[in-house]
Amino acid sequence: MKTNITTDESTFINQHLIDIFNDCFQQSLNTILVDEGNEPIYIPLNDTQKEHRIYFAHGYFSSALHEIAHWLVAGEKRRQQQDYGYWYAPDGRDQIQQNEFEQVEVKPQAIEWILHQCCQKKFRLSLDNLSLPEQDNRPFARAVYTQTQHNFEKGLNNRVQVFCAALMRHYQNPQALEPNLYQLGDLSSALA
């Protein structure tokens, strides 16, 4: 079994994801996915670019899915602001800042989990803060699990449905949106 993905293979996989996203949203919502950054960022349409752009970091597939998830969650007003108008404090947050970070991250990471499932890829929760190594991560895992189940109960928004359908076709995974596939135990063991 092959465990390492070469740079060429990674580029190929990322290009598929970029093409899928752009096919879904470039024409309809003037938004493209771009693999050109060291840091992930969303930059809305402005005087120097003719479309909204989602940049993901270092060519990482999971970074792309994470940034797409933020875009899929963001409402129209937030999609008019750089990085959707959210603050970001880098690694080194204290517990209060970490709690605020997690509150903002629950919805996008719930969607990200669904996207990973559509692609048949393993999902890892991201707390993005190595400065709190003793932190109890289980409440965040429970919150993401609860939000995921809530998403299925209330229904996924149109953009999520469109993108998931495209991913499921590409990855030949028609069962990806079955709620019973999403178990809390999978998240608890998937903390990064």
Cα dist. 69→64, 66, 110, 127, 161 in Å?
9, 5, 8, 16, 12
Phi/psi of residue 69, nearest 5 degrees: -60, -40
* Average pLDDT score over the chain: 87
State the pTM of this model.
0.89
pLDDT value for 102: 80
Pairing of strands 41-43, 31-37: unpaired
pLDDT value for 11: 63
Q: Burial level of 182, CB count in 10 A (0-12/13-18/19+)?
A: buried
pLDDT value for 1: 36
* Residue 70: closest CA among 90, 49, 42: 42
E strand spans, the chain: 31-37, 41-43, 52-57
Q: Burial level of 152, CB count in 10 A (0-12/13-18/19+)?
A: middle
**Digit-coded pLDDT (tens) for 137-164:** 788 899 999 999 999 999 999 999 999 9
pLDDT value for 2: 38
**Inter-residue contact 69 to 111 (CB < 8 Å):** yes
Residue ranges in the chain modelled with pLDDT below 50: 1-3, 192
